[in-house]
Amino acid sequence: MTTNTASNNDPASVVAPCLDIFDALEPHALVERYRAGIQALEPRVLELSDQQADRQFTSDDGLGLWSCRTLLTHLMDAELLFTTRLRRILVEDGPIFENWDEHAFIDSRLCQPGESSLLMPVGAIVAAIHTIRQTLATVLVQLQPEDWQRRAMTPYQGEVTFLEILRYATFHIEHHAAFMNAKVNAILGPAEDSTVNSGSGGCGEGCSCVKENQA
């Protein structure tokens, strides 16, 4: 995976991969990158205390407003969504997907600390993302050429193929990982040999990370 090194003295340097990189990947290479997606996250995210994981950022930080735990929870929710959609495409003829109100999740007690919060430990969230990807990958390696072109309807992009959704899902975690890693560096200080993925761009379909300072 090609990477660029952001300045270790400037945690606000967020360099994320461009979606075009994933559009150019053939299915075999895409599956391998999808399988390895969790590796884009800074391992030190597991060292964050609850207080650090829930630290809110401001627009002045230049790292996006979401806390690390909120961002990780978003990634897990997105993985569940992508996996369900991909499995539906394989068994349904032209399924129609409803809109996912991700803002309702982000603003809920599943993501935000409070008296009635239902927050998951950071380690559990990371483990869930890893398990979801490794499990789906066992299906992906068995697909026939025609499976990649099976189609569904989405509320934002219209008709999309199985391959297009997987490309977007693979991009999604790496895009957000760039912001996550910058947040971890801001909290814990830069790690030696700290790198983030190259490129730039927004997530696309319905993802609020395309809006400035929302990652």
Range of the domain at 182: 3-210
**Model pLDDT, residue 103:** 85
Does any domain span residue 67? yes
How many separate domains does the chain show? 1
Does any domain span residue 42? yes
Does any domain span residue 48? yes
**Model pLDDT, residue 13:** 59
pTM for this predicted structure? 0.82
CATH number at residue 121: 1.20.120.450
* 80-109 pLDDT tens trace: 999 999 999 999 999 999 888 888 888 888
Does any domain span residue 144? yes
Does any domain span residue 120? yes
Low-confidence ranges of the chain (pLDDT < 50): 1-12, 195-214
Does any domain span residue 73? yes
Residues 35-64 as b or e (16 or more Cβ within 10 Å = b): bebbebbbeebeebeeebbbbebeeebbbb
Does any domain span residue 121? yes
| Cα–Cα dist 10/14, whole Å | 9
Does any domain span residue 215? no
